[in-house]
Structures are given as structure tokens and as C-alpha cells.
Amino acid sequence: MAHVERRLYQRLLVFVAFLHISGVFCFSELFFIKEPHDVTVMRKEAVILDCQAHGESPIDVRWLKNGVKVVENERVYHLPNGSLYISEVESRRGDKSDEGLYQCLAQNKYGAILSQKARLTIASISAFAIQPTPAVVTEGSVARFSCKISAHPPSIITWEFNRVTLPLATERITVLPSGVLQIHRVQQEDAGNYRCICTNIASRRRSTEATLTVAAAPRSQLPQRPRIIAGPQNISVSLHQSAILECIATGNPQPIISWSRADSKSIDVYSTKVLGNGNLIITDIKPQHRGVYMCRATTPGTRNYTVASANITVLAPPSLVEWPESLTRPRAGTARFVCRAEGAPTPQITWLKNGDKVHSNGRIKMYNSKLVINQIIPEDDAIYQCQAENEQGSVLSMARLIVVMSEDRPSAPRNIQADTVSSSAILLAWERPQYNSDKVIAYSVHYMKAEGLNNEEYQVVIGNDTTRYIIDDLEPARNYTFYVVAYMPMGASRMSDNVFKHTLEDVPLRAPELSLTSRSPMDIQVSWQPLPDKLSRGRVSAYRLSYRTSTESTVSQIELPGDKTQHFFQNLKPDTIYLLRIVAATSVGWGEQSVWTSHRTPKTSSALVPMAPELRLEPLNCTAIVARWQLAPRNSISVQGYRLFHHEESQSETSPVQLRALENTYTFGGLDPRKKYHVKLLAYNFVGDGYQADQTISTPGCVSVRDRLVPPPPPPHNVYTKTNSSNSVFLHWGRPAFTSSQAVNYTVRCNPVGLQNASLVLYLQTSEQNLLVRDLEPNTKYEFAIRLHIDQLSSPWSPVVYQSTFPDAPTLPPSNVKVTLIEEDTALVSWKPPDEPNVAVTHYTILYASRNAWIAGEWQVLQREGTITMSLLEKLKPGQIYFVKVSASNHMGNGPFSHTMELNVQADSSGHDPRLSQGSTHSTGFSDGFYHLDQKSMTGITVGVCIALICIIICAFIIVCRGKNRTFSAAKTYGEGVNTSALITGHLGSEGQAEPADVSIPRMSHNHFIDAKGGTNLVINSLGPVQSSTKKKEKWFSFNGNGKKGSKAVQPRTAVLTFEDELSMSPDQPTTLQALLWRPGDSEGSSNSEESHATGDSGRYSHDETEMTNLSSRTGSRPPSLSTEDSAGSDCSAASKESDELMGESCADLKLMESVESGCCHYEAKSCSESELSFQVGV
């Protein structure tokens, strides 16, 4: 019966524990939706620091400034959503200033969490740190000025020459964003005063003027080796910023500048460009851009060169690569949280409990980015945060610890005793708990080193059938602390009392590693590092050095005290190989001797070779060693390179590795664990090999994992990622090589890099070897890992791969656009990035125009990089009103423009605009790309529309009236004649419009129509416009069919054509007249007839119409065959015969008559058509 009751009691406890455990996954976890970010504002400007938390209500939000609670007042107060509002930012000194680091603290019943830090900075600009200095340069050489200033936000630096903005149109002038002015191939007109101007939203500062004096170049210039007068400097650049490496060289002839990397890697051509004559700019800096860059100036056609180098350090904010996970633990249990972060510089890890910093004590330990809580108590139930922080920023991740309580737990074990067994073992004994000892199912023995901080605690679980245990993996000569805990099925007792015990000393585990160098041909400097405590196994009391030559068997020995770490051997033989070894001793005895280490003393004639480098060896891991070195300070001999040797102990020496003189590090890989290696390094020059440095080092052992009964399957391999869009990434992986016919499933883990909330990690299941992950955030770097599941076994996670989604094109314009007039002709436009997350901006476009230019649609365009949020508008005209708007763009597209800002540039006293002086506010407001006109513009448009309507009505009335006149004159015939002067006057328009003529139309064919566009009486057929005859006969010359006596004299350079149209002729078929008068290039000539002038019509006809239009338009469209010069020497009868042949097919008979007096030809055409049209052209 008791057994049944115990089983029911255990099941009840399991059910209660399940309820508590399920609470981890069911409770509304507290996390931030919005967190504050760094912001720079103007003094007296309002600012909002965002903070919005989500979780189970009620949620209390508080703000901290520099770790101290922010006190609300009428100027600083909380908004309903939790954000902090400061109406007027103050910049007073001390604590009264609003500048500082802000964090918001959100709390509910589960605990409290702290947001990331946000720095509030007030815009400012300091005094100049570097100002330009006077310079004297030779004509044709290079001049350089520099200035440097500290400003928030960073300032824009421009230059003035004799107090006038320096033009940058010439390729000789280069201005670097860092504040350097370079003038190449200096000329005499470059002499003058130069100064730099630094501008940001806070203020503008001008430097002192520096005078450039240009000296005349000598007539004969000798060849000069290249010389770098301004080389690159070591810089540290934040991620995604720009790095500028300057390089200016002189020489005769002018040297060629090239760039390379010291590690022989290729330079990223996509993010790198050369500015000016050799300056290297790397945009959008990434971790792979770190390294040493070399500028090389080479004389063309020779091998003469000079090299300068600089190191680029890429700074990156922290990002979490492993974050803590929420845990459920019983009372008196142990909880371990893990947190790892990467960044540059290396982030510092801090643990927070409900927003407060966690401090180490006997129960809570922090080491190696881990948080270990032993003997959990109810007060440990809280939200814990891991905060990784460096100078580039901070990141946090959270996890919750839930403590499960149980009743009737046993009391703590009693009477703990510890006895030392050996240098590595201690016997621990105890008595059973006084109460509820029958419920104990196991004991847990805890031990850790007693000295030092953040020591790792170890735990061993044993059965309830014994109360004695030997801990045998301890270090010699160490103090340890022990305690014991008794466990029941769903709980544990309190921890027992602590007991301390010291292990015995032992002989050293191994000998120190030797480092050998020579200062002269007759000495050897021997040095070594003290053994670590784990290897010394006690206090080292003495060292013994043994040495001999390689050809002798006699061994000499010398004993040294335990505090020595070097010894100097003198009076040795030159050019001789010596063998040395060392052994260490403790109070227990001597340890194991090292193997013989060889070293050759230099030759006597080696005085001009380099001295031995200072060599340092470090194990990188169990299979790699890193060698670092530097030349001795006393070494004054030039070095051409290094030779590096290494070999395993008792193995033959391998061929050396040749290294360049600029290199100072090398990594040996592919070594065996727990092996000793000898490394030798020497420098050489043109004389020969220098003194060598010898050192030995042992590789550590690899961390092994205990064999399991059922080993897990291997993880997937060859994980491949590819970005599909701004919100999806495609993954593909390979199945590991193992034989199994069972079904395999995969879990894909996806989360943004630096995720602060572990509950937002995305886990996706699939049975395929590929997956398209959707619904991701744009412009966000994600990490992916995959594991497989087979037969209830899971593999480890695959190596993490990283992939970034594409950014979205901006959908919002830049915010807070401001335009300020800072000088008479210069304005500063500033803005803030668009208020939308995860949208990268690569460049901004600034459009500005005066009112007149804006009406004409002529905008001036400026572009700035995405990291710059201000720009100068220069050379503005006084008395003008300018419109300014800004848009953001990236590689995915352009965003919308901001609302157009209006800038009133006041006129000076000499040309003051009275409208501006009266404070007139006639302006144009803009909204969503549309504009609203002011009152004067609307009045002008209204008047213009009314005038246009009146003109249209008048033209319509004229057309109606003339149409009636044509009805009465339908039976009249056309007079044929032309008045040259009147026709020319009609074309040129010098005497006004030609008098309109009445046209009599006996019959209109189907391919004739009246041009009613301008209200004229122009008749057009398929061949073009037809000139009407006039009623006033005295203004025209008349011709009869044969040119008889009644005809009047024709004016010189005047041709008259009379022809009859054929109704059946195809519009597309060229007529004989077209063949005679056709001129290449005039198929679409502009018609400037008198009717076209009167109506404003362009007079253009389609290509399907006849080229006769050219004859009615201008004199210059006459074919060459009809010109005066040509006709004088040509046979008109021949032309008439040719015309008859051409007109045969169209039933037209053309006669050509030449007037000898005027030098002109008269054409007369007869047609079989019933309709007859008259056409006069003034040529």
C-alpha cells in the first residue's frame, strides 16, 4: 500500500512540474518592440527617444540616464507609449546637460528588462585641431594643405582660395573628405591664400589662412627617385563607413602610384576607387577590408620605387553568436546560461538580473561568458539578460529562469569531512540528512578552486547507497572547496556546509620551453617562461641547465634558483652547434628533462648581418601554432627577408618558409596535438643570413568528448544560401554520408544576427534538402543552421552560414529637412534618414531651383553619400526665392522626394527687392508632388485663358463669313500672275500680313480640302497647298497659255507654274512635276507660307504629301535646276523635251519657256483633267 501511495505522489509531482515547465512556453514574455537609438540634435530642439515594450500587462516603463533614473518635469516626461520626450534639449555643463546614455527599463510580474543604450548628442563643432600652414613649392610640384576638426555630426569641409570658393572642376585639385587639399602640377596662378571652412548643422568655422608661394622651376631638372611626401596613416574605421588612404609622391619623371595588400590578397574593386592622383578610398567598409595596404610610387620604365604602408582596422558593433535560453530548474538545482558575442574590439559580457548587474558570490559565478547559478533559491526566479558591449555599441539578449518549488524536501547532508589522498585526489565523506533521508534518490558533490574569482564549479552525481566519494581529477598544490546536496524526485535539499582542503605538491609535469639567441659569435642567450600552475604542480624551487656541443659527449650543468627565467652563456666557440636542455624541480623532486635543443653560434665574419629577431610562439589550437617576431631595437642593418624553419621533435628539419621583410607573423597548421616542435627564425640581407632565434613549443591536447552509447548522426554539410529578394532567402544543403533507409527530417534555424530576443528564433521543418525561407526583414543579416532528425536521434547543428536580404527601395522621403541661409550666397540643407527600419540609403539627391528655373522645370541636382545628411547650396542669387527638396535612394530604387522647402535669399542693399522688404508672403506650398499657385499666378493664368477664348471666337466668326463669300464666287475663274515684291513681303512678314485673297473654286475634288485650322482660305490638294488668286488684278501678273502679247513682264528670279490635276492620280505616285522639282532632304521641309504665318501654324506636311510644299514655303527650297546660275547656261528646250517624256504617263503636257531677259524659265502645264488649279511660287 505504501508503494502505491509513493507512485501516486510521484505522478502528482510530475504533473505539477509539467504545469510549471509549460509556463515557460505559455507566458507572455516581456520584450521590446521599439528601443532607443543614437541621436544628434540641435540645442533647444525637441527629441523623442523611442521605447515600447510588449508582454503581459501591466507593464511599467522607467528611463535611466547614465544608469540613474530620469526625473520627470515639465520639460522631460514620458509619453503614453513609454517613449521619453524632451521638449528643449539643454547643453549645460555637468549633470544638467541632457547629453548622455539613455536606457528604458520595462517591468511586469515576470521580471524586468533593460533596453540597449542610446547616446544623445547635442550638435557641436570644436576648435581646429589642425590648421593649414604656409608652404613654398616648386612650379610643377605638389602642394598640400590639411585641416582637422572635431564635430557632431561630422562637418563638411570646403576650401577657399583668396576668400573665394575653390573651384574643383580642374583635375589638378583634389579635396579629400578627411580635410586634405592637394594641388598637383602647381602653376604660378595657384599662388595665394588658402583656408578651409568646416560646416555642420551646429555652426561654421573658418581656419587661418595659409599662403602658397610658387617658386620658379629650374630650367634643367635632373632625374629624381620617387619620394612619398604624404603616405597613408593607420586608421580605425567603423563598419559600413568609408576609409581614406592618402598617397602623394614626387619625382622626376612623375612617379606612378599603385596599391596592393601586404597579405597578397586582391583589393576589393567593387568598393574601392582611386580619388585624384593616387588616394585610395574604400566605401562601405567590411571586415574583409581589414589589413595592411601598401602605396607604391614607381618611376615609369624603371625599377625604382618607394613603398609606404598603413593598417586598416575595421571596428564592428557587438553581435551575438550564442545567446541564453530560458530554463526551468528545481529549487537547489543549478542553472547555466551561455552567451557569446563577436565584434571589434572584443565585446565585454555583462549579466543583468531584472535590469540590475549580477555580481559573483559563492553561489553565482560568471566565467568565459557563462553565468552559473548554484543552489537555486526562489529569489533567483527572474529575467536574465546578457549584454555585450564595446565602443561601437551594445546588444542584449534575454532568458528567464523559472524555479520549481516542492514540499517535504530533505534537510542538508551533515558533518562533511575532506582528507587529502595525493597530489590530485581528495576523499570526501558526509552523513545522511537528518529529516526525510528516505526520500533521497541521489547526492550531488560540488567542488571548485578556492583561490581566484570566477572559477568554474564542477559537479558529480552519485547514488544514494554511499556517503563517501574520492575526487581524483584535481590539480596538485591547490586549495579546493566542497559541498554536498541531497536530491529527491522533484527537488533538492539545501547545500551543506563548505569544507576546504589542499592537495599535495608533485614533481613538474614537464620542463619549460627554451628560447635561444646569440648577440655575438661567442655567446648564447637562453630564456624560458615560468611553468603554469597546472604544469608546475607546486612551487618551482630550482632549474638545471645542461649543454654540450654536437661533437662532444661531455655534458656541462648549471643549477639556477626557481625565480630565474634566463641565463647568458659566454666564451663559446663561433660557428658551432650547441645542444641545450632544461629541467625544473619542486620540493618533491626533479621533473622530466626537456629534449635537446640545438643552436649554432654565428660566424666571426657576420658583423654586417642582421641580429636575431625577438621570436614569440603561441598555440592557436591543438593543431596550429602562431609565430610572431620583431627586429631587435639595436638592429640597424637593413633586412631583405626572413627564413622560418620548424620541425617536430626527433624529426628532421624541413625546408624554410621564405617571408618578406614587412611580414611579422606566420601560422603553422596541420600539426599533431600534444607534440613538441622546434622553430627557428633568421633574417637575411645581401651579405648573408643573420643571427638565428630558436624556440620550442608544445601543442595542447584537443578537447575530447566521451563516447556515447548511441552516437548522434552527423549534421548536414555544404549549406548554401542565396538571397532571392528583400524578404526571402533560398537554402540548399547536402545529406551527410551515412547508410540509413529511414526517413530523414530537417530543422532549419533562422534568426537575425545579434538577435536580442531568443523567443523570436524561427524554426522550420522540412523533409527536403532545400527550403525557401520567407517573411524576412529587408536589409538584415541572418544566420542559418540546419540539423537532421532520424529515428528519434538529432544531429548537432551544422556550421552557421550568414546571408543578408536585399534592402527595399525607400518608401518615405528624408525627414526633418531644413534649409538655412548661412551666408549671402550660401545655404545649408540638412535632413535625417527616412523614418523606416531596415532600409539602407546609398545616396541622397538634392534638387534646388530658383522660382523662374522651377517654372521652366530646370532643377539643379546634387548627390551625397548615404552617410552624409547635409549639403551646401552655393552661388545663390540675391533677391531670389529657391525651392529645395531631397530624396533617398539605394541600389533597389529611388524614394519619393520630401516636401519642397522654400528659401528666401534676401537682396543686398544695392539691389534690394522691395517686395521682400515688405515681408510679402506670396509663396508656393507643396503637397505630395502637387503645387498650389498664389493669387498673382492665378490672375495671370485667368487673363491668358480669356484672351485665348476670345481669339478662338474671332477666328471661328471669320471662317463662317468667308465660307459664305465662297458660295457666291463658285463660278469665277482663277487669275494667273504673281507680284514678286508682294510675294516676298508676304513670306518675310516685314510689311505685315499679306492681304487675304478671295478664292473661286469651281469644283472641289475628293482629294482636296480646306485648311480651317487658322481660318484662312488656303486650299490643299494631294500635291500640297494651292495658292489662291486675288480679285485685285493690279497686284498680279497674268499669263495666257502661250505667253502672248497681253502678258506682263515677269520679275527676275520668279517662276510661275500652271498645271491641271488628275483626279485618278494616286497620292503615293510621284508626278512629273514632283520629279522635276524634287530635292533631297526637303521631304519634310517647314512651310512658311503667308497663311501659315497668319495662323502660327508650323506648316509641316507628312511625308506622304508632295514636295510642292517646299516651293510654297521659302526661296531656298528651289531645286538646283531652276536656279538663275544654272538656267543661264542650260538648254531650256532640252529640259522641255525631258519633261514631255516624264509627263507622258500622267496625261500632262509640260512646256518650258525661258525668258532671256530675266534669266528665268516659265513652265506651262496642260492636263487632261477637268479641274484646273493655279499655283504661283516666288523663288
Least confident stretch, 157-166, 625-634, 785-794, 1069-1078: 1069-1078
Please tell me the predicted confidence (pLDDT) of residue 648.
85
Helix (H, G, I), strand (E, B) or coil at 157: strand
Give the mean pLDDT of the chain: 75
Question: How far is it, in rounded angstroms, from Cα 1121 to Cα 1115?
Answer: 14
- SS3 of the chain: helix, strand, coil, percent, to 5: 10, 40, 45
Question: Which residue is it, cell 533538492?
Answer: 492
**pLDDT attached to residue 64:** 92
Q: What is the dihedral of CA 627, 633, 637, 640, to 10 degrees?
A: 30
Calculate mean pLDDT across residues 1001-1008. Answer: 43
The verdict on whether omega for the bond into residue 253 sits within 30 degrees of 0, i.e. cis, is yes
5-to-2, 11, 491, 727 alpha-carbon distances in Å? 5, 10, 18, 57
Contact status, residue 709 vs residue 662, Cβ threshold 8 Å: no
Residues 679-733 pLDDT 10s:
888 888 887 788 888 888 888 876 543 333 456 778 888 888 988 888 889 999 9
Q: Which residue has the higher pLDDT, 202 or 919?
A: 202
Q: What is the pLDDT of residues 192-218, one digit of tens each?
A: 999 999 999 888 999 999 999 999 888
Among 132-146, 210-224, 859-873, 1137-1151, name the one with the lowest average pLDDT. 1137-1151
pLDDT value at residue 95: 67
Please say whether the beta carbons of 504 and 477 come within 8 A. Answer: yes
Highest average pLDDT, of 540-554, 757-771, 966-980, comes from: 540-554
What does the pLDDT look like over 253-307, one tens digit per residue? Answer: 889 999 998 888 888 888 888 888 889 999 889 888 989 999 999 988 887 889 9
Alpha helices in 57-210 (DSSP H): none
More confident of the two residues 1161 and 162: 162
Sequence-separated (6 or more) residues with CB below 8 Å from residue 314: 236, 237, 238, 239, 285, 286, 287, 289, 290, 344
pLDDT in tens, 441-469: 889 898 888 877 667 778 888 888 889 99
Q: How confident is the model at residue 794 (pLDDT cuts 50, 70, 90)?
A: confident
User: What pLDDT was estimated at residue 884?
Assistant: 94
Over residues 967-1003, the pLDDT tens digits come to: 555 444 444 443 433 333 333 333 333 333 333 334 4
pLDDT at 196: 94
| C-alpha distances out from residue 954 to 947, 950, 997, 1014, 1095, Å | 11, 6, 19, 11, 12
Confidence of residue 1071 (pLDDT cuts 50, 70, 90): very low
**Residue 307 CA: distances (Å) to CA of 249, 252, 298, 302, 664:** 10, 17, 9, 15, 17
Give the distance from CA 76 to its chain's centroid: 36
What pLDDT is recorded for position 1137? 41
Residue (of 257, 256, 281, 278) closest to 270 by Cα position: 281
One-letter amino acid at 554 equals T
Q: Quick one: which of 678, 585, 586 has its CA closest to 625?
A: 678
SS3 169: coil
Residue pair 897/813 in contact by the 8 Å Cβ criterion: yes
Q: What is the mean pLDDT of residues 1070-1081?
A: 39
Using only C-alpha atoms, the chain has a radius of gyration, in whole angstroms, of 48
Cell numbers linked to 141: 610640384
Q: What is the pLDDT of residue 106?
A: 93
> Considering only 74-83, 138-147, 762-771, which range has the smallest mean pLDDT?
762-771
d(CA 373, CA 26): 24
Is residue 1011 pLDDT above 50, yes or no? no
On whether the CB atoms of residues 998 and 1031 are closer than 8 A, the answer is yes
Mean pLDDT value across residues 750-772: 79
Range 83-96 average pLDDT: 82
d(CA 833, CA 934): 31
Which of 151-165, 306-320, 362-376, 435-449 is predicted least confidently? 362-376
Candidates 234, 228, 337, 245; CA nearest to 283 is 245
Question: What pLDDT score was predicted for residue 965?
Answer: 62
Q: Are 282 and 266 in contact (CB under 8 A)?
A: no
- The percentage of the chain sitting over the pLDDT mark of 90, rounded to a whole number, equals 20
- 970 or 627, higher pLDDT: 627
Element (H, E) at 62: strand 60-65
b/e code 808-845 from CB counts within 10 Å (16+ = b): bbbeebbeebebebeeeebbbbbbebbeeeebbbebbb
Beta strands 224-230 and 235-238 are: unpaired
Identify the pLDDT of residue 791.
65
Can you tell me the mean pLDDT for 766-779? 87
455-480 burial code (b ≥16 CB/10 A, e <16): eebeeeeeebeebebebeebebbbeb
Work out the average pLDDT over 238-245: 90
Higher-scoring residue by pLDDT: 1164, 288: 288
Q: Check pLDDT > 60 for residue 1109.
A: no
Which residue matches cell numbers 627617385? 225
Of 664 and 457, more confident:
664
Q: What pLDDT is recorded for position 207?
A: 93
Residue 53 scores a pLDDT above 60: yes
Phi, psi of 437 (to 5 degrees): -70, -20
The DSSP secondary structure of 695-742, one letter per residue, reads: EEEEPPPPP--PPPSSPPPPPPEEEEEEEEETTEEEEEEE--S----S
Q: What is the mean pLDDT of residues 416-443?
A: 88
Q: What is the predicted pLDDT for the residue at 758?
A: 57
Rounded Cα gap, residues 762 and 747, in angstroms: 10
Residue 642 phi, psi dihedral angles, 5° rounding: -130, 155
